[in-house]
Structure 1
Amino acid sequence: MTLTSEIIKVGIADVKTTVYPNTLKTSGLGSCVGLVLYDNKAKIAGLAHIMLPDSTVAKKDNQNRMKYADTAFEILLHNLLTSGASKANLKAKMAGGAHMFGFKSDNKMLRIGERNIEAIRVLLHHHHIPLISEDVGGNKGRTIVFDIDTSMLEIRTVNSGTKQI
């Protein structure tokens, strides 16, 4: 019997989890960061497409909690643990966080990609989840695909080809 696999597409400001043999994919990572948390023993993984670093600065009405690093991380972690992942086995990979504006600025509020990356690093450290690899920064958009079986994250960077981490 062969397993049929499906590509689970994760939209902007979205969080999804799935199990082997499926793969997770998200496109449109500019200043956004794609965060993958996975348990390679249980063969389960989740992907969050994070737009902004901090939900506390958002208006509370009509708020998509999957848009922000802090709340998307909570949702992703909760979904993985309730689906059978072990927190002790979780590992992380991330990509994105580019500086997409064509001008330099000292205004930290405009450096969204850098702030997203830093927010995720802080959350991973707080939860004792090791960051295995990353492809972050720069000034080009990315598409990522995570293979649960091999734990490889394929990154397609605009005009720069494909690599795996």
Structure 2
Amino acid sequence: MSDTMVRMGELAASKTVGDMLVTLGLGSCIGLVLLDRRMGVAGLAHVVLPESTGHAEVNRFKFADYAVPELIRRVVALGARRPMLEAVLVGGASMFASIGGSMEVGARNEAAVKAQLATARIRVHASATGGNRGRTVRVDPKTGIVLVREAGSKDTQLYPATLNKLPTRTLQEVA
């Protein structure tokens, strides 16, 4: 199994068996996962700031207004079908809650990513956002499984939802 690390302001897409897309230490940043589970394609972006307006940055992909459209383009280029894309959001924590006010970058990042997804008509299927702890996200493109680990805890499956909590039924044959 090969880990592809997605650092701040980076994005990656894959459809390779054995790949795992990984972003470590998401605080106020948003880890955006795009999946087409039937085609076995996934993408992951590490969004640092909500918008690029007024910034002459070299790395445009750290901004939601550039990262989201580019991630869509990359997963579609690998064979994902745009109408089938599913989004998962991780991060957006309030890492500086004591400062308050306009410093709530996590909430602004989440809102900006959601706005970009709404414009692209892509629905958010799951999220692990907010709070005040960092998170790590792992995505398996072939299975579409998204794992999240909050700082100080273990990996949990965020998406797709596990069905093992539902009661099981045994079908009986009628003679």
- TM-score normalised to structure 2 length: 0.84
For 2:98 and 2:54, the matched residues in 1 are separated by: 24
**Match of residue 67, structure 1, among 62, 68, 81:** 62
**Match of residue 161, structure 1, among 124, 137, 154:** 154
- TM-score normalised to structure 1 length: 0.89
For 2:36 and 2:21, the matched residues in 1 are separated by: 14
**Contact 1:12 1:28 survives alignment (8 Å):** no
Q: Establish whether residue 23 from structure 1 lines up as the match of residue 20 from structure 2.
A: yes
Cα shift at 1:150: 2.8
TM-superposition CA deviations, 1:72-119 (whole Å, max 9, x none): 11211111122221101111101000011151422x2x1100000001
Partner of 1:161: helix, strand, or coil? Answer: coil
Unaligned runs of 5+ in 2: 159-175
For 2:97 and 2:87, the matched residues in 1 are separated by: 30
Structure possessing the higher radius of gyration over alpha carbons: 2
Query: For residues 68-107 of structure 1, what are the structure 2 equivalents within 5 Å?
Result: 68-106=63-101
- Give the number of equivalent residue pairs: 157
Unaligned runs of 5+ in 1: none
Tell me the C-alpha RMSD between the 2 structures: 1.4
Cα shift at 1:149: 2.9
Cα shift at 1:63: 2.4
